[in-house]
Structure 1
Amino acid sequence: MSDGSALGLGKPGTLEGGFADPAYRTLIAAQCGLIVPENEMKWGVLRPSADQFDFAPADRLVAWAKAHNLGVRGHNLLWQHPRWTPEWLTAHDFGSQPRVAGEKMLTEHVTKVAGRYADVVHSFDVVNEAIDEKTGTLRETSLSRAIGGTIETIALAFHAARQAAPRAQLVYNDYMSWAASSALHRAAVLKLLGELKARNVPVDALGIQGHIGSNGAGVATTLGRQTEEWRSFLDAVTAMGFGLLITEFDVNDKGLPADIAVRDQAVGELAGAYLDVTLSHPQVDTLMCWGLSDRYSWLQGTSPRADGLPKRPLPYDTAMRAKPLRDAVAGALRAMPIRATRQGMR
């Protein structure tokens, strides 16, 4: 079992600036077995134009990880979401033969990125968030329209990744959750995985982002029947032969009371319940938190609490002190069924 955290470059003092903080780097190095670059391998950072690649930010994080004997996950080779598609790509002219041009662009991108890091990245999120959770349909982007369809685009990305990094674990990553409101999203993910399997697309595992949250002080009102529905979903994924990873875990406390002790306790209880059922599947081989310290959580800048208080969604507070969530994660890891640890490459 591997565990780790997202880590990003950025200006000191910003949410993306965790790497610039020596105390945070020390915490990551001490507590994690691997890291995942938060943004540095995404198209918007790594490829500022059709003809230009900027590997410097990702290279810096990878070099730091290697110097501290940490593994690295790759995130992501294709973000199949129009909102997060770079402006230059949305406006790109694919010419008179758009399919040929689109396939060339995607293959080149995946080959360059996956190939560059194939010796250090043991697991890639090849495709990220291809499903519209509100409709259950596959999202389209300028690139997938040029290629001729989203399923064809996804398949091409995975085949190119397998060619470039033959020993790496190849992952489809998405944010379906155990909430009742996510039932359509879960069903759509199962459908997509089934179609990819039928096409012999080389997908090794499903990445479960694991962004969970609560609207009440206790877990009882949050859980209900969703535990069994979540277990059934995971059973269906593994029955198709796919592995599992938790790739971006955190707990949004937006709906919890202001009192820190009460809030932290509720977050820990919810996390424990979620991790217990998820980690009961031995196919889960990785648990990644989307950051370790509340100081650098992406949730601080997203959908703020009504009372305006900072959120506390990660295992350590802004002063890098352990919280009940850290104990809940550690307890769930200790209690999970024994499984083999994947050491770097397969």
Structure 2
Amino acid sequence: MRVFLGARVMTLSRRDLLAAGAASALAGPAFAAQGPSLRELAQAKGILFGSAVPAGPRGATTGPFEDAKHREILARECGVLVPENELKWYVVRARGPQYFDFERADRIAEFAKANNQALRGHTLIWHHPQWFPGWVKGYDFGPKPAEAAAKMVTEHIQALCQRYPQMVSWDVINETVDPADGSIRSTFLSDAMGKEAVLDLSFHVAREAAPKARLVYNDYMSQEVGNEKHRYGVLKLLEGFKKRGTPVDALGIQSHIGAENADSFTGFGKPQEKEWTAFLNDVTGMGYDLLITEFDVHDKGLPYDFGPRDAAVAAYAKAFLDQMLSYRQTKEVLAWGMIDKYSWLQGQWLREDKKPKRPTLYDDNYQPKPLREAMAAALRAAPAR
């Protein structure tokens, strides 16, 4: 594997990567509460490090956000927090087109303020028909559907941006590219006003409503084989934004790396190193910044034994992070959860042995894993922004 560090290029074999991971594994929990936090390591390089976090309703006594040890890790390690689902349409507008429910997102915002953390917005529009609330099905925009849909988009984005003016960046549009063919997905909004019109309007409204925030297109195209059409579609989308003067600042690369999300898959995916580097160069060459927005490592097909599994995960992640952070355009690094037992991957694409996965930086006992040290090492090695 070729790892790009600024102008230098290092060639690492799979054996090298596994050895590096094993060395991290031998470090064990000795680095549990010692040394600088990930927040501090990132800040020293001009990078924001943080994590997504879910929050239940106010007054809840159970769940990840109510877990005191989880909160301690979030407060120490994270310089920025991302509401995991709390600002998505199916949560914030679940009751109908006239209602907004900010209770859950407000709880995260309050925690962030109390711990001197920044806040990041995910997402203004998840442009995928599956992830809108049920009331949108068959929704009647009336005799002037384009105007009515534009009004709904505008009011939605203004409401969220005005509620949370402290957001340092927003995923304005999430996952609009269909990985099957690289086309733009259709939704009830685009059916009313046109595909590109929805996307462009969303960014223009967001720029006006959140003038200081980094505006991001976020998607899950990745480095592994099978993502060729998805990457091509994202490049076409970004090129279109440039041509039309759409105010997009950055590409969010979700970075759910490791095993493919398939029931039968084992092992890790196969990175297309040259193609992935060319993709990143094309994106940054157009003037866009980069973000790692939803980082975790899917270990579905790896051996059960924690030592070899954690070593392989850490090595695979370190190579990916080194390359991503070698680009000075990478300004934010967000984990998609910090504790294994709270990861979204626990309930999907189960391991054949039905055992829990270990995709995040901390284990179920709140101990840092080799993956945490891989993240720390990558931040230390990254060039300053």
Q: CA deviation at 1:77?
A: 0.2
Q: Which range is displaced more, 2-11 or 181-190?
A: 2-11
TM-score by length of 2: 0.84
The residue type equivalent to 1:104 in the other structure is K
Structure 1 position 245 matched with structure 2 position 254: no
Match status 1:189 vs 2:234: yes
1:199 alignment partner, one of 235, 244, 249: 244
User: Hey, what's the Cα distance between the residues in 1 that align with 2:137 and 2:197?
Assistant: 18
Corresponding position: 1:166 with 2:172? no
- 1:13 offset after TM fit, Å? 9.3
2:55 is paired with a residue of what secondary structure? coil
1:150 and 2:195 aligned:
yes
Q: Could you tell me which of 208, 211, 222 is aligned with 2:270?
A: 222
Q: Which amino acid aligns with 2:305?
A: D
**SS in structure 2 at match of 1:172:** strand
- CA 1:232–1:338: 2 relative to 1, 3 Å: same
Distance 2:183 2:293 in 1: 22
The answer to whether residue 48 in structure 2 is matched with residue 7 in structure 1 is no
Q: Residue 331 of structure 2 corresponds to which residue in structure 1?
A: 285
Residues 259-303 of structure 1, C-alpha deviations (whole Å, 9 max, x = no match): 111111110011011111111111000100000000110000111
Q: Which residue of 1 is the match for residue 158 of structure 2?
A: 111
Tell me how large the CA RMSD over aligned residues is: 1.5
Match of 1:212 in 2: 257
In our comparison, the structure showing a higher alpha carbon Rg is: 2
Cα distance change on mapping 1:252 and 1:304 into 2, 3 Å: same
Extract unaligned runs of 5+ from structure 2: 1-46, 260-264
Please say if residues 266 and 300 of structure 2, whose CA atoms lie closer than 8 Å, have aligned partners that are also in contact: no
Q: More relative contact order in 1 or in 2 (CA 8 Å, sep 6+)?
A: 2
Paired position in structure 2 for 1:122: 168
- Is 1:308–2:354 an aligned residue pair? yes
- State the alpha-carbon separation in 2 of the partners of residues 13 and 54 from structure 1: 20
TM-superposition CA deviations, 1:171-218 (whole Å, max 9, x none): 00000000121111111100000001100000000000000113666x
Where does residue 51 of structure 1 map in the other structure? 98
Aligned partners of 1:304 and 1:201: how far apart in 2?
40
Q: Residues of 2 paired with 1:89 and 1:320: CA distance?
A: 40
Q: What is the TM-score when the length of structure 1 is the normalising length?
A: 0.93
Q: Is the 8 A contact 1:123 1:171 kept in 2?
A: yes
Quote the residue 2:18 is aligned against: none
- Residue by residue over 1:55-108, the C-alpha shift from the partner in whole angstroms, topping out at 9 and shown as x without a partner, is 111111101101110111000000000111111122311111110110000000
| Whole-angstrom CA distance in 2 between matches of 1:325 and 1:303 | 21
What is the deviation of 1:248? Answer: 0.3
Equivalent-residue separation in structure 2 for 1:265 and 1:272 (angstroms) = 11
Matched, 1:89 2:89: no
Q: Runs ≥4 in structure 1, deviation > 3 angstroms?
A: 11-14, 214-217
2: CA distance, partners of 1:233 / 1:312: 29
Give 1:10 deviation, angstroms.
Answer: 2.7
Gaps of 5+ in 1: 340-346
Query: Contact 1:227–1:277 (CA<8 Å) still a contact in 2?
Result: no
Quick one: percent identity of the two aligned structures? Answer: 50
Task: Identify the match of residue 373 of structure 2 among 317, 327, 336.
Answer: 327
